[in-house]
Amino acid sequence: MPRIGRGVVDGLTYHVISRGNNKQRVFHNDLDYKAFVHLIEEGKRLYPIKIFAYCIMPNHFHMVLMPIKGNDLSKWMHRLLTVHAQRYRQNYGTCGHIWQGRYKNFAIQEDTHLLNVIRYVEGNPVRAGLVSLARDWEWSSHKETIGLRKGAVVDELPIELPEAWENYVNAPLAETDLEKIRQSVNRQSPYGASPWQFELCKKLGVESTLRAKGRPRKDL
């Protein structure tokens, strides 16, 4: 399958995903998670990236972010993944690939679609059965979003959250919304209303991402 162009535009919000090679664990303990959060914080000081949500899972992570300069996203992600991989090999005495191929990034329309993705990201540990409530997973933005923790990672959102956001995240996403998000991941296409998707894909020359190429994955 040919590679899909990055298509990163200044000032757009993106859903970014990267997973461990062959779905292997890349975070084994609290020290691993903490070190990765610190890498994110360091990267923000080097490149003008706004982060609106994140979730670090045992074998992958999600982020919702906005690069002020589109070209900075690849630089920021390269540093994040490269430094983590180097430390992982040192700590665990391994060699070879740590991350599975290129990270994925998909533009998000800044309306209810953005809310759906943030909800999807922060609710990931609940869907995976790791915790019963999103607030119980230490390695996501959720505690910061609901005011239970202060940190240097999460920036002010470009859109207002609904009231009772915590309940909103803990409740299951509608199957149609879940399928559309997974479809975006599977096709590597922007996530938003059809007219917005079409115009952005046309601008970036990636109209092919709007065509189906298989069933949506259910493990992200």
Q: Is the pLDDT of residue 218 over 60?
A: no
Q: Is residue 70 part of a domain?
A: yes
Residue partners of 10: CB distance under 8 A and separation at least 6: 67, 68, 69, 70
Choose among 107, 170, 110: nearest CA to 136: 170
Domain carrying residue 128: 13-206
- Give the total residue count for the chain: 220
pTM of the full predicted structure? 0.89
Residue 65's H or E segment, with its range, is: strand 60-67
d(CA 84, CA 157): 27
Helix, strand, or coil (residue 13):
strand
List, for residues 129-157, the tens digit of each pLDDT value: 999 999 999 999 999 999 999 988 999 99
Instruction: Please compute, for residue 126, the number of CA atoms within 13 A of its CA located in the half-sphere on the CB side.
Output: 20
- What confidence score (pLDDT) does residue 214 get? 52
Q: Is residue 2 part of a domain?
A: no
CATH number at residue 121: 3.30.70.1290
Residue 155 · residue 64 · CB < 8 Å: no
Q: Is residue 35 part of a domain?
A: yes
Q: Is residue 6 part of a domain?
A: no
Number of domains in the chain: 1
Q: Is the pLDDT of residue 76 over 80?
A: yes
List, for residues 98-116, the tens digit of each pLDDT value: 999 889 999 999 999 999 9
Place of tokens 């991402």: 209
As a whole number, mean pLDDT of residues 188-199 equals 90
Number of other CB atoms surrounding residue 133 within 10 Å: 14
